Chains A and B, each alone.
Chain A
Amino acid sequence: MAKTANKQMICEVLMEAAKTDKSIVALCSDSRGSGSFTPFAETYPEQFVETGIAEQNLVSIAAGLAKCGKKAYAVSPACFLSTRSYEQCKIDAAYSNTNVKLIGISGGVSYGALGMSHHSAQDIAAMSAIPNMRVYIPSDHLQTRELTKALLQDEKPAYIRVGRNAVDPVYEEGNVPFEMDKATFVKRGEDAAIIACGEMVGPAKAAAELLEKEGIRATVLDMYCVKPLDESAVVEAATHAKAVVTVEEHAPFGGLGSMVAQVVGRECPKKVLTMSLPDTPVVTGTSQEVFDTYGLNAGGIAAKVKEALK
């Protein structure tokens, strides 16, 4: 199956919707190319706003547009959107409760070789800590399509992080289980539960397949809705497992692992091992090289599950 980058799928869904919905407005901070939004800008120039390299302005202008009835999609690299314009996300989007969808493109270590300035390993923690801000990290382009359609139906702010590169689909066309704010069980098993988000869901699924060959059955839970976290799915997955492993493309603090551990500790205490990027500037390289360095691949996840089950 042809691979499509998640960011490209967001653009495709919005372009389809914009045919009839003139309230949809996309904003870019000199990021239309990197965000795959050039087709939108060219097809709907009257529904496109370029702010230049000014991420604070991007978010505030999006909020002002939203206050006047627009569905504002602010598209900018996650590393800048979640830090440079953090206060605008907090005040103008979340606190004022405007219909701004913050699309953090090339999130995590997508720009692996460009260094720490271009990595967003803090965005889950930062955005999740803002009241009235939701955080979504879809795993593949098919789930991204369903999520984007669902987000068009509400009028609340949200942060959506997607990677730069096309990734192998987790789901199949015609069989994309999706319910808004409900995590997706990719596999079910009774030995361990692997809870992952974004680009880590694919390797988590592959890890479960490796483990299966060794007789270890693992649940794989795609927690695309990091906030509001689907707590009932976490409890369901953890209750039926001997140990839990979380996997995320994020710093070790305040992300998916922290949130899952809070729920498991409160509701069904058992061992939780968290896999993440380290609390240091990560090694530079392609994102796959970065993942491999820190064990964020099928083999590394499988090994961590076995460690958890010891």
Chain B
Amino acid sequence: MNLEALAYELRRDTVDLIRAGKAGHIGGDMSVMDILVELYFRQMNISPENMDSPDRDLFVLSKGHSVEAYYSVLAKKGFFSKEQLHKEFSKYGSKFIGHPNNKLPGIEMNSGSLGHGLPVCVGMAKAGKMDGRDYRVYTVMGDGELAEGSVWEGAMAASHYKLDNLCAVVDRNRLQISGGTEEVMAHDDLHERFRSFGWNVIDVADGNDIDQLHAAFEEAKTVKGRPTVLIANTVKGKGSPVMENKVNWHHKVPSDEEYTQICIDLARADVDEEVHA
């Protein structure tokens, strides 16, 4: 499977979903897509068939507002139909709400309030160690989310318990709703912060590059005795200049004109990726 092409296909699905639901955190959806595609289509042992298995890998989308990208990935993975998703997303009484909902198949935990995913994953990874199971636990956080103190409580415990079966990813797109992350609440040097908490840190220079993400996740599996965090340097709104690195696209529904241009850009970016591949 060509995962680069899949990521662009799912970006198009996500934009359509946001248009259908008339709501969505589109910028972060675009930046996180390659991470989700690599996890769901190459890294993790998760499928609709094995969700009851105690040996399945576990995932929590800590930056729950990127749910449109997540739903699109889960639909492609076969947890529910794309048609149902696009019909019901953000509608009255729907289970397809604006943050992950574990009443839907494929979703382990509810999220939405930031700073919860990592500590919950610490518990999941600890359970794996207690039971001698080989599953791995993954969570994706936003960079703005790292201002939540609970993230660092989780980071502290993960290294204390030596959870090498836990891999966190920071979707480092450098924008949050009020502006640049470094202006709102500075995080650099993020790598050093995680290292000081006892973590193995892998910098993914281009966090929208599937091959780089793949190499980083594979490296993380080889690290023993401590958890790993991938600092994935991504582009918010990745795939179209209409959205890229623009703070006002944190939460936005494209107009007809913008939608047309975004579709052209996403198709072109897809072709560019294939040429480069």
Binding site for B on A (CB under 8 A): 25, 46-47, 49, 51-52, 54, 56-57, 60-70, 72, 87-88, 91-92, 95-97
Residue of chain B at shortest CB distance from A27: B123
Residue of chain B at shortest CB distance from A94: B110
- Which of B119, B127, B130 contacts A60, CB < 8 Å? B119
Does B236 touch A at the CB level, under 8 Å?
Answer: no
Does B113 touch A at the CB level, under 8 Å?
Answer: yes
Does B20 touch A at the CB level, under 8 Å?
Answer: no
Report chain A residues within 8 Å CB of B127. Answer: 64-65, 67-70
Q: How many A-B residue pairs have CB under 8 A?
A: 93
Alpha-carbon separation in the docked complex, A87 to B150 (Å): 11
Contact A91 B112 (CB under 8 A): yes
Contact B150 A64 (CB under 8 A): no
Within 8 A of A (CB), among B71-126: 102, 108-113, 116, 119-126
Binding site for A on B (CB under 8 A): 54, 58, 102, 108-113, 116, 119-128, 130-131, 149-150, 153-154, 156-157, 160
User: 5 closest Cβ contacts across the A-B interface?
Assistant: A64-B123, A60-B119, A68-B127, A61-B123, A57-B153
Contact B102 A61 (CB under 8 A): no
Alpha-carbon separation in the docked complex, A70 to B120 (Å): 13
Contact B122 A91 (CB under 8 A): no
Alpha-carbon separation in the docked complex, A163 to B54 (Å): 37
Q: Beyond the given A61-B157, A92-B116, please list 7 additional residue pairs across the A-B interface where CB-CB is below 8 A.
A: A56-B119, A60-B123, A61-B123, A63-B109, A70-B130, A88-B119, A91-B116
Report chain B residues within 8 Å CB of A62. Answer: 123
**Nearest CB of B to A43, in Å:** 16
Residue of chain B at shortest CB distance from A88: B116
Report chain B residues within 8 Å CB of A88. Answer: 116, 119, 150
| A25, A62, A88, A91 pick with most chain B CB within 10 angstroms | A91
**Nearest CB of B to A67, in Å:** 6
Report chain A residues within 8 Å CB of B150. Answer: 56-57, 60, 88
Report chain A residues within 8 Å CB of B102. Answer: 96-97
Report chain B residues within 8 Å CB of A97. Answer: 102
Alpha-carbon separation in the docked complex, A72 to B124 (Å): 12
Contact B157 A92 (CB under 8 A): no
Report chain A residues within 8 Å CB of B125. Answer: 64
Alpha-carbon separation in the docked complex, A57 to B154 (Å): 6
Residue of chain B at shortest CB distance from A55: B153
Contact A67 B109 (CB under 8 A): yes
Contact A61 B119 (CB under 8 A): yes
Residue of chain A at shortest CB distance from B108: A67
- Which of A25, A51, A54, A68 contacts B124, CB < 8 Å? A68
